[in-house]
Each structure stands twice: as structure tokens, then as C-alpha cells.
Chains A and B, each alone.
Chain A
Amino acid sequence: MGKQRIEDLALFGGASTFQRLRPIAQLERPDRARFLAHLSRIDRRGPTPVLVPELEARLARFHDVPHVVAVSNACVGLLYLLHVAAGGKRGEVLMPAMTYAGLPHLAVWAGQTPRFCDVLEATHTLDPESVRGAITPSTTAILPVHNVNSPCEIREFEALSAESGVPLIFDAVHALGSSYAGRRVGSHGMAEVFSLHATKLLNGFEGGYVATRDGALAERLRGMRDAGDCSEPRGLDGRLNEVHAAMALSSLDDLEGVFDRNLQRFERYVRHARESEWLDVLPYRSGEAHNYEFAIHRVDPDSPLTRNQWVHLLRSEMAGAEAYYNPPLHRTAHRPQDTEMPHLPVTDELTHRFMHMPVGATVSLGDIDEIGSLVRFIEHRADEIAARMAPLSREVA
């Protein structure tokens, strides 16, 4: 039975639409038999990995690159690369502020200072011109992050890197399976880093990997990964364990299926958004391959309910919507205290407009229909709901 009155909304005392939170996470469950079959191939007699090299070889084929180095998580891969890029120098890493909280921490671990640059309004990815203006002799790396709806302006960044001599590292966690100019992401810049975390596209419980065309770099990364057993002076034990590799291999067997299911969910959201007055769905760049991991919704500025009020209402119904990278990192404690507050007008504007909707294997098409109905119910009574939420506005905002 759908909602009839405002009091039926969970925020005002009604029963929530879902009993269990519908999250923003892929959480794909691999085929049990396939996973156990991979698991049984682990050499449990000794430390010699069997599945990790196999996974690396398959991922290298997937990305059409000569080298893949599997690591314990994507952050470790990025940290290794930032350390190598710096070459023992202390300097700045240029990165977006409209991204996840870990990025500036990784720069600091590598002995660098994060410097935030602005993003492009159309793609939400790092703006090459903003980066160009921030490059100084102390810049040690450019670190753009591919967004799920659109990879970065790769060609411009490669030109900028060649011109300035600053190493280019891509955080490609959300771009697995996406293409740029018809070529699958993974072979650009100095290296690209992907995740094997369960909430991402390729579920290896936890883990990550670095894809690169540079054989010497791959060798060096392997040395850092095996800290304690190697001569690499700045090692950090970042080995992917065999059990995680078994899971990643079974997930890789079904990766195209993951993309297909994501597309179905995305299209269902699009269908509902057509009937919505104030919400629309951020499109994927046409002519390229995508993984359809997210369904990012834009809240119309004329909506009587703010983006944060939408998020609050939906979350109270156990539809786990989230503000899209808000607050941006330069406005949080993740910006090191000794750095200046940057001027990032596009980032500041964008982070107030968008929200993530629930996605992934635990969200059915029926769930999305429920969310669509809920959105229509809220829209029909938006003025009244906004008035009733006014006393909460400070908390919600």
C-alpha cells in the first residue's frame, strides 16, 4: 500500500518504504560454485601465489595493457604511484576536491601536499585548465579521477603531462569497463588504479590493482608491495591475498553481466525521472562504453525541497540516497590544516545539486519503481512537506 497522506512518510511517523536500507554499493554476489572452484586451486602449502598472477594476467588482457599489479586495496596502489612519481622530492599533488575523502590523505602519506583544482561543469571531472594554472616547479603529480558518467579529459591531461613533465596518474576506480575515444580505460598516463572492493564493480572482497604500460614501473611496484621481503626501501606490505584473488576471478567471470544489470537499473531510473518535475538523471556520455554503476540525480533549483531535504526524506524511507561528494574535500578536515582554502566555484556549485540514488545488486527493479512512486508522492506535496521540514532545516542542511 503506497503513501496516502504526509503522515505516511517515515519522517513524520509513518512506516518506511523499505525494511532494510537500499544502499549505493554494487555488492555483487559471485557464483558460489565458481568461487569455491577458484578457492580450491589455492596452494595452501606455502606462500607462493597461484591465483594472483592469474588475476593479473586476465586483467591485463581486459585492459589491453602489458602489466597489472594486484594490491591489497586501491589506496595502496595510488600511494605507491604517488611515492614513485615524487622521486624523493617534496611537493604538491594536483587533484579534485569533488571526490572521496582518501585522496588527500594518500598525498600526505607520500610526503606530498594535496592541492585541489576545480572540475568541469559538464563531466564533473578535473578541469585541465584549472590544473594547468596550478602547475609549479614543485608539482610532483597530476591525479585526475575518472567519474562513472564520464572519464576525465584524458587527451588534454596527457598533453599537459608531456608538456610539463609532471607524471600523470589516474584514479580509475569508477571507470572499470568505460571507454575513452573508443578505447577501454586502463592504459593511460603513468598508470591507472582500479578497485576490487565489494562495493565496487569487481568484487574481490577487498583489493585493487594498478594497470600500466611501463614494465620498469610494474617491477618497482611489485617490490614495494612485498615489503619486508625485498630491497625496495619504501615498501608497504600491499599484497593481495589468494582468497581475495579467488573472489575477484569469479567476479571477473561475470563482469559483463554486472554492467548489463546496472544498465537495466539505470534505465528504470531514467524512465521514472521522465515523470518527475524536479529530478533528472545525469546522462552517460554517448558513443562510449559505460559500466552504469551509479544513477546520479540532479535536483532542479526550482524544487521546493533542497537537495539535502530530498536526501533526508529518502533516507528516512530506507532508500539510501546520498549527497554527491558534499561537502567537497577542501571544505572538510581532510584538507591539511596548513594549506590555503582554494577558490573552486564549479565544485562548490555542483556539490549542492546532485544526489546518488540506491544502486547495486541489492536494489531490484521493483525497488526502483517503489522509489519512483515515493518521489512522485513527495513532489505532489512538496510545498507542504517543505513547510513541515522547515524546523528541521538547519539539521538537514
Chain B
Amino acid sequence: MSRGPLPEAWVQAFDGILQRGYYANNGPLVRQFEQELCRRLEVPFAVAVNSGMGAAMSALGVLAPTGPALIASDCGPWLRRSLDWYGIPAWTFESGTHLEVSVRGARQGASILITSGFVAEADRVAEVCEQAGLSWMHDVSAGLRNTPAAHIDICDLERSSLRNPAAGGCTFTRDAGLADLLRKSRSFKAGSTPEMPARRMNFKMSEAQAALGLWALDG
């Protein structure tokens, strides 16, 4: 990519946005982007947000860990900083030892497993988390095509292979209940229910971010 003339696809996408007059707040392009991600990654639910860190913070709010987090050594610093905002202690472990660590960590009081990239025996890790009562959040930014069976997968669209020029993030889940909470947690306006995270934030993706996300998917 260079600074030269704008790609025709950009011009068309932005013309469409200007014509519709729908610019932000999870509009039609955001929904289309989510559907496209679901289709390509074969995941039933995708919830787009404004950044990768927004995805992590939104997922943590919904999973609501009550104890320390077991976090793989190859997770980015932005993931650790997401934990800071919740005051969740991080127990770092050497990546590649997920299964053993899940079991041991759960026994010692950890309540969430956070991983990144490739996870060996992902199905077995999911099973162990289920038995041990551990939530599992996995960062798929490094390999968008390879989502394991975590409770919530998160992605930073700028750092991922998509390299969305307008940034953005996304959460993926197979659980309809979690997807509903993820959608509600990205804005203040959704009605409160006892299940809702106590604090919410503006994590909404704009139509511009979704438009360039769709463009990047096609590229």
C-alpha cells in the first residue's frame, strides 16, 4: 500500500456510507462484517468492537473472572493491560504447556486461562477448562483462521493478518448467551440485567472500520 490514489473499493464503500448517513453505533456494515467473519471462520457469533483491547476488555467483563488469570507468555502486553483495568492478577506460564497449566492453575485458584496463537490439543484444553471451572479467552490475532474452542476468542484487526487500516477488534463465541452479553457490553445504552457486566464502555465499531474490515477480508 502506498499513499497514491485511493483504491476504488474505498471510494465506493465511503460513498455508500455518506449516502446512507449511518456512520457509527453498530450500523449495517458492522452487521455485515460480523456475518462475513462468522461465515469465513465458521463461528456462529461474532461481535465487532473498536479495538483489540476493546475486545479483550469486553470479553473479560462478560466472563467475569473471580480469581487470577493464567496468561501465556506469548500474549501481547495489551492483553496484560486489559487485566490491569479489572485488577485481575496475572500468573504467567510458558506457552506450549497449556493443558498442564490449566489443571494446575485451576487447583490453585485461577479462574481464567488466556492464550494466544496456536494451542496444541485445543479441544482437550477446552474440556479441562470445563471440568475445572476455568473460563478460556484466546487471542486469535496471529492466526485468524485457526480459532480453537475457547469460551471467547478475541482478535485485534490491526495486528491480525487483516491489518485493517481503520483498526478495530472482534470477539467470537459459540455461546448465544455470551454473544448477547458481548453485544450489550459494548455500549451504555443497553438495558441492565443482573447478568450484565457492572461496568460498560463505549467499544462500538464505526461503519468506516467495518467498511475497511470488509475490504481487507476481500483482499
Contacts and interface: CB of A to CB of B under 8 A. Distances in A.
Interface in B36-52: 50-52
Contact of A42 (B3, B189, B200, B201): B3
Contacts, number: 129
Nearest to B52: A237
Contacts of B6: 36, 39-40
Contacts of A106: 201
Given A100-B188, A244-B166, A105 B199 contact: yes
B53 to A, nearest CB: 4
B85 A243 contact: no
Interface in B173-219: 188-189, 192, 196, 198-202, 204, 206-209, 212
Contacts of A198: 23-25, 206
B1 A205 contact: no
A362 B209 CA distance: 23
Contact of A44 (B1, B11, B200, B202): B1
A239 to B, nearest CB: 7
A240 to B, nearest CB: 9
A32 B18 contact: yes
Looking at A36, A79, A108, A336, the one whose CB has the most chain B CB atoms below 10 A away is A36
A228 B53 CA distance: 9
A203 interface: yes
A343 interface: no
B15 interface: yes
A247 B50 CA distance: 16
Contacts of B2: 44-45
A243 B208 contact: yes
A73 B50 CA distance: 10
Contact of A334 (B10, B50, B167, B192): B192
Contact of B207 (A43, A45, A79, A205): A205
A27 B21 contact: yes
Interface string B1-13: 1110110001100
Contact of A109 (B15, B53, B85, B167): B85
Contact of A362 (B5, B21, B84, B189): B21
A239 B164 CA distance: 14
A206 B206 contact: yes
Nearest to A30: B18
Interface residues of A, number: 54
Contacts of B15: 32
User: Which label, helix, strand, loop or mixed, suits the secondary structure of the B interface?
Assistant: loop
Contact of A228 (B11, B76, B84): B76
Counting chain B CB atoms within 10 Å of each CB, which of A43, A45, A105 scores highest?
Answer: A105
B5 A105 contact: no
A242 interface: yes
A63 to B, nearest CB: 22
B14 interface: yes
Contacts of B11: 36
B91 interface: no
A41 B21 contact: no
Q: How many interface residues does chain B have, given as a range?
A: 35 or more
A30 B57 CA distance: 33
B14 A35 contact: yes
B14 A197 contact: no
Interface in A75-134: 75-76, 79, 100-102, 105-106, 108-109, 111
B131 to A, nearest CB: 32
Interface string B87-121: 10000000000000000000000000000000000
A44 B188 CA distance: 33
A227 interface: yes
Contacts of B25: 198-199
Given A75-B201, A362-B21, A40 B192 contact: no
B133 interface: no
Contacts of A39: 6, 10, 14
Contacts of B68: none
Identify the interface centre among A73, A239, A337: most chain B CB within 10 Å of its CB. A73
A335 B3 CA distance: 48
B56 to A, nearest CB: 9
Contact of A40 (B5, B198, B208, B209): B5
B18 A35 contact: yes
Nearest to A240: B167
Interface in A227-266: 227-228, 233-239, 241-244, 247
Interface in A354-374: 361-362
A372 to B, nearest CB: 24
A237 B24 contact: no
B206 A244 contact: yes
B51 A197 contact: no
B148 interface: no
Given A40-B6, A234-B84, A241 B165 contact: yes
Given A27-B23, A73-B202, A228-B81, 4 more contacts: A39-B10, A40-B3, A199-B25, A227-B53
10 contacts: A44-B2, A45-B3, A73-B50, A101-B189, A108-B198, A197-B24, A198-B25, A227-B78, A244-B208, A337-B198
Interface of A: 27, 29-30, 32, 35-36, 39-45, 72-76, 79, 100-102, 105-106, 108-109, 111, 197-199, 203, 205-206, 227-228, 233-239, 241-244, 247, 332-334, 336-337, 361-362
Interface of B: 1-3, 5-6, 10-11, 14-15, 18, 21, 23-25, 50-54, 57, 76-78, 81, 84-85, 87, 165-167, 188-189, 192, 196, 198-202, 204, 206-209, 212
